Amino acid sequence: MSIYKIEKEYLIRTYECDKNENLRLLTLMNIFQDVADTHASDMGLGLEYCLSNRLAWVGSNYELQVLRLPKMHEKIKVFSWPAVEKKLGAVREFLVVSEPGEILIKASSQWILIDFNKKRPVSLRDNLPIYQIIPERVIETDFPKLENLGRIDRQTDFCVRFDDIDLNNHVNNAVYPLWATEAVDNNFRTTHNPEYLEISFKKEGLLGEKICVETQNDGNITLHSIKALGENERELAKVRIRWKSI
């Protein structure tokens, strides 16, 4: 199957922006998922194919470089393509540009194909139609492991809501960076925007669970460990963010 870079246009609406008229990180992550889902479906290996074969794409990592967040009422174009194929996973790139062509955001993501019943990774070649890749990276990364927190400077609690759950019946990937950015001091958050994010997804978060975000703050860099509390306590994700002043 020949491959192409998908291109989708979006108009940033008022309700998709924060108090500073910048696109919300949650919405950006959902846009990435929308583009990836559309492209995967066009390639014949999207949601419908996965559901009929009891498969699921599960995100394992993201890295994002934010040069500038899109503004309210701004038109953007999002390009995406599969850039690397591994035995048990794939890497998908994203590029966000303004209407005049200014590069706004670069992102690289890593996805694992799992057997929905067994909850185990499966081989791409044994379970997907043959497709080509475009070996072009916007961020050259192998998604290095994020270190453990050396200390806890701040602790923030959340609860998994019904609207946080996706079609796979666990917390949607877009919610984890939202929790991380909500776990910093309000004054700091008001005066800073994320400049670079590294996200490592580890376990599934489930409806109704109590969530704790432990944060280590070192100047303009914050490291977050997101955990589900209770008898089955486990780390769901790690997020590292480099911030820049607005």
Residue 46 is assigned to a structural domain of this protein: yes
What is the domain range of residue 222?
154-245
> What is the Cα–Cα distance from 6 to 36, expressed in whole angstroms?
9
Same-domain status, 18 and 108: yes
Which residue has better confidence, 121 or 108? 108
Q: What angle do CA 73, 76, 79 make, to 5 degrees?
A: 160
Q: Which of 78, 109, 127 is the last residue in one of the domains?
A: 127
Same-domain status, 107 and 209: no
Same-domain status, 116 and 163: no
Same-domain status, 164 and 235: yes
Same-domain status, 121 and 167: no
pLDDT digit string, tens, across residues 34-63? 999 999 888 877 788 887 888 888 899 999
Same-domain status, 36 and 82: yes
Same-domain status, 119 and 178: no
Same-domain status, 201 and 96: no
Task: Report the CATH number that the domain containing residue 80 is assigned in CATH.
Answer: 3.10.129.10
Residue 136 is assigned to a structural domain of this protein: no
Query: Helix %, strand %, coil % for the chain, to 5?
Result: 20, 45, 40
State the pLDDT at residue 14.
97
Same-domain status, 56 and 117: yes
pLDDT digit string, tens, across residues 129-148? 777 899 999 999 999 999 99
Which residue has better confidence, 116 or 69? 69
State the pLDDT at residue 142.
94
State the pLDDT at residue 53.
84
> What is the Cα–Cα distance from 32 to 79, expressed in whole angstroms?
9
Same-domain status, 22 and 109: yes
> What is the Cα–Cα distance from 55 to 41, expressed in whole angstroms?
14
> Model confidence at 127, in pLDDT bands (50, 70, 90)?
confident
Cβ neighbour number for residue 131 with a 10 Å cutoff = 16
Same-domain status, 103 and 210: no
State the pLDDT at residue 126.
85
* pLDDT exceeds cutoff 70 at 2: no
Asked if 240 and 198 touch (Cβ cutoff 8 Å), the reply is yes
Query: For the chain, what is the domain count?
Result: 2
> Model confidence at 13, in pLDDT bands (50, 70, 90)?
very high
Q: Which of 127, 145, 175 is the last residue in one of the domains?
A: 127
Residue 82 is assigned to a structural domain of this protein: yes
> What is the Cα–Cα distance from 240 to 141, expressed in whole angstroms?
15
Residue 28 is assigned to a structural domain of this protein: yes
Residues 6+ apart with CB under 8 A from 214: 149, 152, 154, 155, 224, 225, 227
Average pLDDT for 14-41: 95
Average pLDDT for 236-242: 98
State the pLDDT at residue 1.
56
State the pLDDT at residue 110.
96
State the pLDDT at residue 64.
98
Residue 220 is assigned to a structural domain of this protein: yes
Same-domain status, 82 and 159: no
